[in-house]
Amino acid sequence: MAESTKNNQAKKIDTSAVELVRREERRRRRKRNQVLAYLTLALLVILIVAGVVTAVILIGRKQPAKQEDNSSLSSEIEDLVGPEESLQKPEVSDTVPEPTPEENLDKIIDAAIEVMPLEDRVAGLFIVTPESITGAGTAIQAGDGTKDALNKWAVGGLVYFKKNIKSAEQLKEMISNTLLYSKYPLFIAIDEEGGQVSRLAEAGLVENAGGAHEIGATADPAQAYAAGQNIAGYLSEYGFNLDFAPVADVNNVDDSVIGERSYGSDSAIVSSMVASMVQGLEENGVSSCLKHFPGIGSSVDDTHVGLAGTDRTAEQFRAEEFVAFQAGIEAGADFVMVSHMAAPAFTGDNTPCSMSHEVVTDILREELGFDGVIITDAMNMGAITEYYEADEAAILALRAGCDMILMPEDFEKAYEGVLQAVRDGTISEERINDALRRIYRIKYADKLVE
């Protein structure tokens, strides 16, 4: 019994001992796990801190390079736009840009046209002889008859011939009075080409400046310029502001109707001469007028007498004649005169070029880019009068794109016909106003102040 009790106590002691060992082992594991947890946490904190420090160091190292790049970019911008401006934001301004001198001139012109009666606007598209509005046999002075005529018909200009010239004093006084009597600015025009067509030289008032053929033979553009300068000088002295010159026709067929009035048969030489003559006139205060588009030098017939035509192809015109006219346009010619010659290569029939929309608008205005005044050749020539009434011819020319009508056979009939055509819508008022704008850009050129 005693032995059994002793054995039981021994077993309890062994069990307790085992339990104590197990407890100690569990305590040690917990402590080890806690240490490992603390070490892990510490390591994680160290890694985070190290990452932040590394990032700061890297950013610090990159910043100077970025600043240097910005500095380089700023230098390049400053080279282009100047210092300061490159760093400033564009300012938004409510101010309206200042109008250009050309825009100011257009405003002046539009204001002038707006107050014109329709009758005056239509009359302003004609350049006529003084006799056609005064009824005088030969006009050699400007008195009450001229004053009354200009008040009734406010024509755009007057053209004078040898018969109107008796002396230097008489011519100056007639032109001066005419300008005073007109309520609108006038073109005072003349044919002064030099050579065989020189009205003042024919009247003995000036020395002939020399013909185109003679000047062209020198192949020296300086001589053409000098001729233009000389002509402009004496024309201005008498009061003329428009010269129906130079001839830009190329004399490229045998027995050409233009003859020695042309600078020659070589389109390159003709081009240089035409350009120089234009500059000589325009730079000295006289408007020049290239003639006779598209090139009557290719015809042997005379439009003064009757129908004239040419068998030139469109390609030939573009290769030769157009080169000379283009040179004059680029040199600054204010006017281009369109011939009454028929050019079937463009029109397909015998319609006078002056009445052809294809020739006047499609080619001269658009293809060659001429934005000055397009004027017909004299409408009292046989090529027109034998086939058209004065009013019909004027209407057709304006509808084709011409801006001015030169010397109709019957001015009053032509004027009344155009006026009625505008009133009934055959010709739009805008077509009239468009022509007048071109006319007044020349007449008001002195108002184009920078």
Q: How far is the CA of 79 from the CAs of 63, 73, 87, 91, 356, in angstroms?
A: 24, 10, 13, 20, 56
Phi, psi of 440 (to 5 degrees): -80, -15
Whether the CB-CB separation of 165 and 199 falls below 8 Å is answered with yes
Q: Which residue has the tokens 């006009």?
A: 139
List the catalytic residue out of 304, 357, 362, 434.
Answer: 304
Radius of gyration of the chain (CA): 46
What is the structure's pLDDT at 21? 40
Judge if the upstream peptide bond of residue 185 is cis by omega within 30 degrees of 0: no
What is the structure's pLDDT at 360? 98
Q: Of 369, 307, 314, which Cα lies nearest the Cα of 346?
A: 314
What is the structure's pLDDT at 93? 58
List the catalytic residue out of 243, 249, 334, 377.
Answer: 377
Q: Among this protein's residues, is 377 annotated catalytic?
A: yes
Average pLDDT, the chain: 86
User: What tokens were used for 127?
Assistant: 């350049």
Q: How far is the CA of 221 from the CAs of 102, 208, 268, 335, 356, in angstroms?
A: 31, 18, 11, 21, 33
Residue 145 has pLDDT above 70, yes or no: yes
Q: Among this protein's residues, is 304 annotated catalytic?
A: yes
Give 173-218 pLDDT, tens digit per residue: 999 999 999 999 999 999 999 999 999 999 999 999 999 999 999 9
Q: Alpha helix (H) ranges present in 182-284?
A: 199-202, 212-216, 221-238, 267-282
User: What tokens were used for 392?
Assistant: 């019909």
Whether the CB-CB separation of 377 and 340 falls below 8 Å is answered with yes
Q: How many CA atoms, within 13 angstroms, populate the side-chain half-sphere of residue 244?
A: 27
Q: Go through 380-394 and write b for each residue having 16 or more CB atoms within 10 A of its CB, e for each that does not.
A: bbebbbebbbbbbbb
